[in-house]
Amino acid sequence: MIILGLCSTPGQYVPSISWLEILSFDKWVHASIFFILSMFLLSIAIKKNLNNLVVGICFFLSVVYGGALEIMQAYFFSNRSADWQDFIANSFGCVVALALFGKLKRKFQNLDI
pLDDT at 42 over 50: yes
What pLDDT is attached to residue 8? 63
- Helices marked H in the chain: 2-8, 18-22, 25-47, 52-75, 84-110
pLDDT at 14 over 60: no
Q: Helix or strand or coil: residue 23? A: coil
Rounded-to-integer distance, Cα 57 and Cα 95, Å: 13
Q: Where are the domains of the chain?
A: 23-110
Assessment of whether the complete model's pTM goes beyond 0.75: no
